[in-house]
Structure 1
């Protein structure tokens, strides 16, 4: 077959910024930080208390290429299910804690690979940081500080008027500083917003302000098609800058 050269030069590959240098931490068997590949995390949609259904969904996510999985823990029944799920899961399990600080300690004791805390929806969270830091340190459990536009501290909403990039970053760095006061640094941070433009700017500011690993995410992304587009645009803009 004859090939015809059109004289059009090949498009060069896109230029990516060097990966942002960060601290390193270990989430179970998965390394997190700039010395490791970007990992993919998803979250189950089952009731965590339903151990069999949750493990089945984790198996499906693992088969699809997921590296880390997150499970919600808003109740005592969910907390009680964590030991079995953490023990039987093929990939590291992160407990996503809601409402009660006691579930943070339950997740750490259960052997979860990491714990995600949202300071905006856990009662008197700041008062418990010292105890949480010590428990996490004793068990070698990393903490993700997950700030969310929908549950931002009322003091920051009053200061900024709404969930601006600056408000999200200030909340995250304040919580990280509380852990640092107790010599706990195995932290990664997320600052999620449903507007990709706001989300991207928040992560850019955060990347300039600290060296913690950053977990990328768009909150309330919407239906599958719309959510995929929003996430792809935001993730692409950040990963191209070496952020994430």
Structure 2
């Protein structure tokens, strides 16, 4: 073999090695990925834009929360061959990163409405975000609907976890993995690495602030939901009686639930 041919082969090998690493994703496609806290995660332009959106608009406690949900899910996928073969990792990433857009407490927030649950606000915004920023032709109505469903159902796990579409159910599961302590579906070392980079500091206080804000400014969407206790505990004059499913069949039961003794919010 001529020296020039050997040189050409070496040059080609070097150029191939320089291409960003790729991993198999659902549907036998290949996507670029990066490593965060020791976990391999998808790294498409859409995912990077979702990360930038969160980091530019929300408090650190919530940014850390959405990163943990994404990384916990990614760690689970890496340790489960069935999930690795079936999960749409780009849709999963965007859903996890943007699932709490409805927590925005700023006036005139671009992410929230006056008449919808926070999960629905986030689902609507994220679906439109994908339509605007996703690669045209790659985001079918079904893929977008999976993201919408996963985000809108993440606060209703008794339904969402049992969705027949695995991509929806796993978005809900990943979001709800963010509780203290290692998760049995991925290694303890992965959990420790994620928590070290994205600690849980401020999550309780931030959750109280966001849910109290929602119960204050649009109480109607919190009655008969898991946010109702925040309104009862922290919002003066909040009374779900008359607005609940229970009240339809029990119109003569008028006493409000007892006020809970939580620490006051500052």
Q: Tell me whether the two structures share a fold, i.e. TM-score over 0.5.
A: no
User: TM-score scaled by structure 1?
Assistant: 0.30
Determine which structure has more spread, i.e. the larger CA radius of gyration: 2
- Greater strand fraction, Structure 1 or Structure 2: 1
